[in-house]
Each structure stands twice: as C-alpha cells, then as structure tokens.
A and B are shown apart, each in its own frame.
Chain A
C-alpha cells in the first residue's frame, strides 16, 4: 500500500461532488459519458454547455500541476506493455468504454457520483456490475501479462 493517497483522493472526490452539485443546480447531471455522447452529433441548442464542460475538464486537469500539484503518481501503462501492445490495448479498451457507457447510460461519474447521490437503483446496479467486471478483468490481466 505504498501508493495509498487517502487525503488527496478524499479531497479530490469532495471537489467532484461539489462540481456535480453545481451542475445539478443548473439542472443537469454531471455524467461525462452522457455529456460526450450527446455531442455526437452536436444538437444546435444543446451543444455549448457540453463543449464548455469538456473544455473545463481539460483546463482544470491542466491547472493541477501548474499550481504545483504533484503528478508523480501518473502511470498510464500499469501492465508495463510494449508501446505497440499498449496502443492496441487502449484502442480495444476505448471502444469498450465508449460503447459500454453509451449502452449502459453512464460511467463512474454519472452512475457513480451522481446516480448514487440520487439513490438510483439503476445506478447502484450499474456500479456494482462495472466494478465487479473491472476487478475480474484486472485479475485476469495480472495473471496473463503480469506488470
């Protein structure tokens, strides 16, 4: 557990909750997969707030190291694959994440932070399923490829 970061993760999570609260005060659910998928294709009266939210995500994430935040934890290749294998894995993973969150109507933010906040049974079910499947997937990957 040498990488355990309870304080920054808790504070980060509380900030996510505050961000979701703010967007609900504007009438919307802060579900990133839904915000993105409803931009494909963009609808004239419904696109600007989505684009601004996503622009905010990128600028907000960029601001963290600019304001002195420690990014040494960043490790995008945890299975320690070769570059080619990692690109191939990310293509497969991206297709699954895009299709799965569209079909399942939510991801870690929409079902997780917002849906659980609304005490939605659909969201609780989705969170338990995607968590369980992800844990099994990681177990299999660790067994097969190590890292």
Chain B
C-alpha cells in the first residue's frame, strides 16, 4: 500500500508541476526576474501548495502513526547550521542559472529534451560530489 501511495503521490506531483508552469525554466526565471518583466505566477504555486500542507500536515502529524505506513520519517535537525545556509546558497545559484529545481527537472524528462537529461545527469553528479566531500558514503557503507 505504501508503495502504491508513493506512486500516486508522484503522479499527482508531476501533473501539478506541469500544470503550474514550474517545468518551464522560462516561467521560473520570469518569476525570479523582479526588476525585469516580472511574472508572479509561481508565487501562486508555492502559495497554493503551502495553503494545503499548512492545514493537512497539522492533522496528520497529530496521529501516532501514518495512515498508510508504520512510522513517520521526518527531518530531526532544528538548528540553522552552516550546511543549511551554504547548501541553500549553492541551490539558489544553480536555480537562477538553469531555471530548474529537482522536481521539475525529473518531471521534464517526460518531454524528451536532451538538455534536460544533461541537467539531470549533472544534478546526480553534484549529489555524488557532495556526498564524497561530506563523507556521506563512508557513513552509510
């Protein structure tokens, strides 16, 4: 059941990203281009998403265990450490350059453009490099 829910969630997420315009780097850059020909559309995407989660998450997280699974696996860190800050800076830089974040990049593989495959390949390479530099492979292996 857990795996089927994950698949359905992914299907909805991919459809939502396409409908919302997030899969278009042009829309993303237009949203970030405050001093140019600003397109505020994507504020409605995050606004709409958070509008739902801020209500539903409260109720779900009050339950002792999730409806479709054994336990909640949630982030446990609470401090604003150097990793959070530096990671957000690097991500913001990459997002502003390419107009693609991880969800829309993976979803856009659907449209078959070789540029998206190159971006996703580089993104995976970036994860590998960061895991090597932070010693993550040693911890899990």
Mark A residues whose CB is within 8 Å of B. Answer: 1, 3-6, 8-30, 32-33, 36-37, 40, 43, 48-50, 52-65, 69, 71, 73-79, 86-87, 89-109, 111-122, 125-127, 129-139, 141-142
**What are the interface flags for B33-77 relative to A under an 8 Å C-beta threshold, 1 for contact and 0 otherwise?**
111111111101111111111101100110001111111111101
Nearest chain A CB to B12's CB is how many angstroms away?
A: 4
In Å, the complex CA distance between A141 and B78 comes to 34
Q: Tally of A-B residue pairs with Cβ under 8 A?
A: 491
| A36 B30 Cβ-Cβ under 8 A | no
Q: 17 pairs across A/B with beta carbons < 8 Å?
A: A24-B60, A25-B68, A36-B102, A40-B127, A50-B6, A57-B13, A62-B111, A92-B94, A94-B120, A95-B126, A97-B105, A99-B126, A100-B87, A104-B84, A104-B86, A108-B101, A118-B61
In Å, the complex CA distance between A1 and B31 comes to 10
In Å, the complex CA distance between A64 and B17 comes to 9
- Given A62-B110, A132-B92, 6 more A-B residue pairs with CB atoms under 8 Å apart are A24-B72, A33-B102, A40-B124, A63-B18, A120-B75, A139-B35
In Å, the complex CA distance between A50 and B84 comes to 23
Decide: A98 near B106, CB < 8 A? Known: A56-B10, A117-B53, A137-B97: no
| A125 B85 Cβ-Cβ under 8 A | yes
Residues of chain A contacted by B131 (CB below 8 angstroms): 37, 40, 102
CB < 8 Å: which of A6, A78, A86 contacts B29? A78
B interface majority secondary structure:
helix
| B95 A61 Cβ-Cβ under 8 A | no
For chain B, give the interface size range.
Answer: 35 or more
Residues of chain A contacted by B92 (CB below 8 angstroms): 100, 129-134, 137
Most buried by A among B67, B123, B134: B123
CB < 8 Å: which of A1, A94, A99, A130 contacts B130? A99
